[in-house]
A and B are shown apart, each in its own frame.
Chain A
Amino acid sequence: MKYFARKVGLLLFALFVAITINFFLPRMMPGDPASDLVDKMQGIPPEALESIKAAFGVNTEDSLIIQYGKYLVNLLKGDFGVSISRFPTPVSDVLKVAIPWSLGLMGLATIISFIIGTIIGISCAWNRNKPAATFTVGFFIFIRSFPYFWLGLLFIYLFAFKAPLFPIGGSYAPGIDRTGWTFVLSVIKHGFLPAATIIVSSMGAWILTMRNNMINVLAEDYITVALAKGLPMKRIKGLYAAKNALLPSITGFAMSLGFVVGGGLLTEMVFGYPGVGLMLFQAVQAKDYPLMQAIFLFISAAVLVANFIADVFILILDPRVRDGGK
């Protein structure tokens, strides 16, 4: 339990650090980006200007500590300010629309990728002296070296432009009724290519982790004993080796979530998929700092929560952690 409490403490502290970075970043950057922005925005309504000035500490007489306190209080109230590019919509409303799309796309794609990758990894380790396994590992090392966004571009070119099997972007056909099976089908069709991009490019990581863990386990004495006893191969592979190799793989999964989410964000940007990633891209282009900050906080929080869930899994699966050994 002590292990668990430490983990939770760490995640909460990480959230606090993310919030603090968010606060200090625009204030510490050379060239004072926020006042630069305020100077450029002559056309926007004065009340919006005021809220931006307050949020970014431009022309304020409050000390940094008081500004920081106000910022924290606002966050606690769930007030992220007003979006500049979509004035006067509050940032939280803008986020609410984007979040379900991202969660659906990235969540599903990541789970599928992890499961398929782990299965391939197991078989690559088990058959590691066969050419097919060597080829698979090599192939995925190569695929993993492509930038996420570039693989997305390639998929768009091949499967949406050259062979128009899938739509080029968006999350569902415009103008259709948002209920019923036509809508569901449209969502699946639009989500297929982005999901495929995430699955294909992240799968290599799971394959390699699982393969290496599994090879490590296969070198253990208890596997040799099991082989000597003449236990059926299937039993050794599944129950003796894979089961024990899975645990570090799940830890690895938790650790790489940040990368996976990053890749997902890029995929959304390339496909114009209306999730948090695309919104972040648009916010950056429009210099919509309040929206940008809120998105960064949300993504950080989401990754931390996912980490927490992975920790709970480890707690359930690993007897050493569960029984409080260390």
Chain B
Amino acid sequence: MAKTPPRQKMPEQDPNIRRDNFEEVALGFTEEMAKKEAERCLQCAEPKCVNGCPVNIDIPKFIKLIKENDYLEAIRSIKEYNILPAICGRVCPQGIQCEKECVLSKKWEPVAIGALERFLADWELKNQLKECPDCEAPNNIKVAVIGSGPAGLTCAADLAKYGFEVTIFEAFHTGGGVLVYGIPEFRLPKDIVENEIDTLKLLGVKTEYNMIIGKILTINDLKNMGFMAIFIGVGAGVPLIPKIPGLNLNGVLTANEFLTRTNLMKAYKFPEYDTPIKIGEVVIVIGGGNTALDSARVALRLGAEKVIIAYRRSEAEMPARKEEYHHAVEEGIEFKFLTNPVKILGDKDSNVKEIEFIKMELGEYDESGRRRPIPIENSEFKIKCDTLILAIGTLANPILIKSLPEIKLNKRGYIQLDENGMTNIEGIFAGGDIVSGSATVISAMGAGRKAAKAINRYIKSKIH
């Protein structure tokens, strides 16, 4: 292989400026950059990159179309596989998916597939060229989708394309799931999410907000309302809370509460918006995933003087997107690896004052394929702080599952599917984080798409 030109680097807001605002960090390729980057693709006959993408976008095809200046065909081709390209281009962990498999990554840097995908989606938005994807003729059969995260949105879109009459029921007052309440504005602007959701309107999908299924309507109610199949995509948002002394002190909060207040309820615009958030001078975040990084970077933008992320494993095991890790470092977030909290100490008014940590070392490999962290005796030390944010993981959302005691769950409490993608209850399908446990946007979308296919098959088999 001849040496390829270097990968285009996406322009970004200066770290010193962006650490004080909620505007988008990564600014996207210019047309010229997109062209240059597209030229780097070798148009492999057996493109490995496609296997790395959970929805198998025809990557060489859309890149070739960029080279040929046919942006409209390029975005059309992406949308055959992925209805949320502006989102995936921004938040997919490309480094462990499509770009990891790109042949160039063996010797050089992989093609910036995510950035090219984003370029096309942003181009479409800027030129207002959004079109309604092709659909089969309406068949007047009703299907319900519960939850409007990436799994639900994708499933709904595909079902609409099959001709079904689709209604999404969402607990919150707005759609997007984690895309709106979890991932912050500076990484994924909310008008981008809204715009992608608008595609569903074009497809005729109805959305009912403020509808907590299991409470206001049960699955049985939905069946009685004539929904022939139901997709459950309610996500996994229940925060894990480590059992350490001092948890109930004021100033200790879960990343979910912190991010929901800031992103969904816009506490970063308090007092223009009514929802408050308290931050203080020093903020410590526990965890090493996207949620931990997002919390830390939000805290910085809310005015914290110092933000520290403490993670019990080492840099190599961090599950967060690599790019965001670099962004966080550039913004001045401090990382303490192999560090685990043991105790939270408070002042006389029961506010957090200090965290006691213990140093860890890596031992044997565990079931997750990573080396297990073990505490080093007598290595305790303390750090003073005003806020402690817990981002150590999540569990299955409870309300719907509780209202459906007959549904089969796996050992970890997530919904179990059969080989056809159906739950043990006939006509009820599921996908996304509620099946897999917390994963990624694109894997949730892949699951939604698979479920739509299964639902189509199921219904067609029933009516023929």
Partners in one complex: no
**A residues near B, CB below 8 A?**
none
